[in-house]
Amino acid sequence: MVELKVGESLAQDIYDEQGRLLLKEGTVLIQELIDSLQKKDIDTVYIDVEEKQVAEAEQEEALSLEAMEQNDLDLQALIKAHEKLSFEMKRVALRGTYNKSIQDTIQRDLEQLIQPYLLSDQHRAIRYFMHMKESQKEYSYESHSINTAVLCALLGRWLSLDPHFIIEAALAGLLHDVGENRIPQNIFKKRGSLTSEEWNLVKTHPEKGAVILARTNWIHPRITLAVLRHHERLDGTGYPTGCPGSEIPLYARMIAVSGSFDALTSNRPYREASSIFYAIADLRDRSFGQLDARITRLLYDKILEYYIEQEVQLSNGNRGVIVKAKKNGIVRPLVKSGQQLFDLTEKEAPSILHVEKQQ
């Protein structure tokens, strides 16, 4: 039985299981009557609803449908913008060159793509990103470049950067792996471990990318430097030069976090995609020395906020809903399954297998 309220009136007579009249149509409910109905397990009650309430409910439903339709339209526009930019990035990969004509087209398409992420509320922006990731069947140069660009734009927004610098950061994210196009592609598609020779070749892609961009006179040096340094780490363990954190600029730090998150959560030839929560745990661990702690925390805090109230599949076979992310166990939140509340930080607690796809 739905929750009855004091003051509501009955739209029909109520009878018990023996057919005896309990309450007549038009009776105004008081708390004692509501308690009595509940004790008698009366599960069907018809309540008079005023025309105003009906109109309000219909209006609310219409607005909800309108919002859903608008969301669908926004997603369709986003998918088209993504496809356009993906096509241009494939051209870059196939040609191995980067000229002014391609740059103008790419920058225009990039700005068109990231606008919905910058103008939407935070929850919807992350939903857009997750939707685009879920629609990507496999990892590719262009999908990774675009995903990194979008995350850089979102980080720029959350860092309160000026719009011009948000675009620059996104463009740096888009072009960060352009040097990979100067390396034999079979290396990136290899299923087994790379040889030391192959790995040393892979580690040259930041320099190769910086050389490509430095030869132009329309790419800002900030972007070129970010491409060169995006695999450097704060503790000096990165490549190609192992420079200290003081020499790693903001855009490169943003790419390091964004690119790592996207790579971890994407299927690769040599491994399956990691779960969102595993990726967050990995980023958190690397923020103690390698990745910029503020940027890393910003990204995983926003993503965790998005997953509150979302449905998950647990390792014990249950489905549940995330109700809270714990500060001392950010990747092991509180999950409600039926009437049970699981604290996933506890030793015997189940773990999250995966998050259910959102419609």
Percent of the chain at pLDDT above 70?
Answer: 89
Q: Which domain CATH number covers 281?
A: 1.10.3210.10
Residue 327 confidence (pLDDT): 63
Full domain range(s) for residue 109: 72-306
Chain segment 207-254, per-residue pLDDT in tens: 999 999 999 888 999 999 999 999 999 999 999 999 999 999 999 999
Could you tell me if residue 133 is inside a domain? Answer: yes
Same domain, 143 and 107: yes
Could you tell me if residue 194 is inside a domain? Answer: yes
Could you tell me which of 275, 268, 264 has the C-alpha nearest to residue 139? Answer: 268
Could you tell me if residue 31 is inside a domain? Answer: no
Lowest mean pLDDT among 38-52, 86-100, 225-239: 38-52
Average pLDDT (134-139) is: 82
Token pair of 139, please? 């990892």
Q: What is the largest CA-CA distance in the chain?
A: 91
Same domain, 90 and 125: yes
Chain segment 256-269, per-residue pLDDT in tens: 999 999 999 998 88
Distance CA 245, CA 300 (A): 21
Q: In the chain, how many domains are there?
A: 2
Same domain, 277 and 341: no
Sequential DSSP letters for 15-42: E-TT--EEE-TTPBP-HHHHHHHHHTT-
Average pLDDT (99-112) is: 88
* Residue bearing the bigger pLDDT, 65 or 48: 48
Which of the residue ranges 61-65, 92-96, 326-330 has the most confident prediction, judged by mean pLDDT?
Answer: 92-96
Q: Is 220 exposed, middle or buried, given 0-12, 13-18 or 19+ CB atoms closer than 10 A?
A: middle
Distance CA 246, CA 251 (A): 13
Phi and psi of 330, rounded to 5°?
-60, -30
Confidence of residue 9 (pLDDT cuts 50, 70, 90): confident
Within 8 A by CB and 6+ apart from 213, the residues are 98, 175, 178, 219, 223, 224, 227
Could you tell me if residue 14 is inside a domain? Answer: no
Does pLDDT of 69 surpass 70?
Answer: no
Same domain, 279 and 340: no
Same domain, 232 and 254: yes
Same domain, 192 and 288: yes
Length of the chain: 359
Q: Is 204 exposed, middle or buried, given 0-12, 13-18 or 19+ CB atoms closer than 10 A?
A: middle
Q: Is the peptide bond before 240 cis (omega within 30 degrees of 0)?
A: yes
Mean pLDDT of the chain: 86
CA-to-CA separations, 358 to 124, 260, 311, in angstroms, rounded: 12, 23, 9
**CB of 121 within 8 A of CB of 112?**
no
**CB of 175 within 8 A of CB of 145?**
yes
Confidence of residue 65 (pLDDT cuts 50, 70, 90): very low
Same domain, 338 and 257: no
- Order of strands across the sheet with 319-326? 340-343, 329-337, 319-326, 311-314, 352-355
DSSP 348: T
Same domain, 231 and 283: yes
Residue 357 confidence (pLDDT): 65
Average pLDDT (143-168) is: 97
Could you tell me if residue 163 is inside a domain? Answer: yes
Confidence of residue 51 (pLDDT cuts 50, 70, 90): very low
Lowest mean pLDDT among 131-145, 170-184, 240-254, 326-340: 326-340
Same domain, 320 and 182: no
Could you tell me which of 262, 312, 252, 305 has the C-alpha nearest to residue 282? Answer: 262
Percent of the chain at pLDDT above 90?
Answer: 42
Same domain, 162 and 253: yes
Give the 3-state secondary structure of residue 294: helix
Instruction: Note the pTM of the prediction, 2 decimals.
Output: 0.77
Average pLDDT (115-127) is: 87
Chain segment 11-29, per-residue pLDDT in tens: 788 887 777 788 888 888 8
Chain segment 287-311, per-residue pLDDT in tens: 999 999 999 999 998 998 888 888 8
Residue 99 confidence (pLDDT): 79
Does pLDDT of 165 surpass 90?
Answer: yes
Could you tell me if residue 175 is inside a domain? Answer: yes
Same domain, 198 and 216: yes
Same domain, 184 and 245: yes
What dihedral do alpha carbons 144, 86, 156, 333 form, nearest 10°? -50
Does pLDDT of 46 surpass 50?
Answer: yes
Does pLDDT of 59 surpass 90?
Answer: no
Query: What letter represents residue 182's amino acid?
Result: R
